[in-house]
Amino acid sequence: MAKTIIEKVWENHVINREEGKPDLLYIDLHLVHEVTSPQAFEGLRLKNRKVRRPDLTFATMDHNVPTINRFVVQDEIASLQMTTLEQNCKNFGIPLADLNSPEQGIVHVIGPELGLTSPGKTIVCGDSHTSTHGAFGALAFGIGTSEVEHVLATQTLWQQRPKTLQVDISGTLAKGVSAKDVILSVIRKYGINFGTGYVIEFTGSVIRNMSMEERMTVCNMSIEAGAKAGLIAPDETTFSYLKGRKYSPQGRQFDEAVEFWKGLATDEGAEYDRVVHLKAEEIAPTVTWGTNPSMSITIEDTIPTPDDYEAEVDKKAAHRAYEYMGLTPGTPISEVEVQHVFIGSCTNSRISDLREAAEVVKGKKVAANVRAMVVPGSQQVKKQAEEEGLSAVFIEAGFEWRDAGCSMCLSMNPDVVPAGERCASTSNRNFEGRQGKGARTHLVSPAMAAAAALYGKFVDIRKLETASV
Per CB under 6 A, contacts with ligand IPM among 42-81 are 63
Residue 260 and residue 239: Cα distance in Å, rounded? Answer: 11
Would you give the distance in Å from CA 374 to the centre of its chain? Answer: 16
Query: Which of ligand IPM, ligand SF4, none interacts with 142 (beta carbon under 5 to 8 A by kind)?
Result: ligand IPM
- Which of 410, 423, 424, 451 binds ligand IPM (CB under 6 A)? It is 410
Binding site for ligand SF4 (CB under 6 A): 62-63, 106, 108, 127, 129, 345-346, 406, 409-410, 427-428
Q: How far is the CB of 413 from ligand IPM (least distance, A)?
A: 11
**Longest C-alpha distance within the chain, in Å?**
64
Residue 125: CB minimum distance to ligand SF4, A = 9
Residue type (1 letter), 84: T
Q: Which of ligand SF4, ligand IPM, none is residue 359 near (CB under 5 to 8 Å by kind)?
A: none
Give me the least distance between CB of 55 and ligand SF4, in Å please.
24
Answer whether 96's CB lies under 8 Å from 89's CB.
yes
Of 35 and 206, CB closest to ligand IPM: 35
Per CB under 6 A, the list member of 12, 84, 101, 128 interacting with ligand IPM is 128
Interaction partner, residue 62 (ligand IPM, ligand SF4, none; CB < 5-8 Å by kind): ligand SF4
For residue 345, the partner it binds in ligand IPM, ligand SF4, none, with Cβ less than 5 to 8 A by kind, is ligand SF4
- Residues 32-63, buried b or exposed e (16+ Cβ, 10 A)? bbbbbbbebbebbeeeeeebbbbebbbbbbbb
Instruction: Give the binding-site size for ligand IPM (rule: CB under 6 A).
Output: 8
Q: How far apart are CA 282 and CA 93, in angstroms?
A: 50
Determine if 36 is a binding residue for ligand IPM (CB under 6 A): yes
Choosing among ligand SF4, ligand IPM, none, which partner's interface includes residue 427 (Cβ < 5 to 8 Å by kind)? ligand SF4
Contacts of 260 (CB under 8 A, 6+ apart): 120
Answer yes or no: are the C-beta atoms of 438 and 446 closer than 8 Å: no
Nearest one of 118, 218, 226 to 168, comparing CA atoms: 218
Burial of 351 (0-12, 13-18, 19+ CB in 10 A): buried
Distance (Å, rounded) from C-alpha 287 to C-alpha 103? Answer: 32
Residue 35: which of ligand SF4, ligand IPM, none does it interact with, CB under 5 to 8 A by kind?
Answer: ligand IPM
Q: Which of 38, 54, 142, 398 binds ligand IPM (CB under 6 A)?
A: 142
Q: Return d(Cα 373, Cα 350) in angstroms, integer.
A: 15
35 binds ligand IPM per the rule CB under 6 A: yes
Q: Which residues contact ligand IPM (rule: CB under 6 A)?
A: 35-36, 63, 127-129, 142, 410
Q: Which residues make up each annotated binding site for [4Fe-4S] cluster?
A: 346, 406, 409
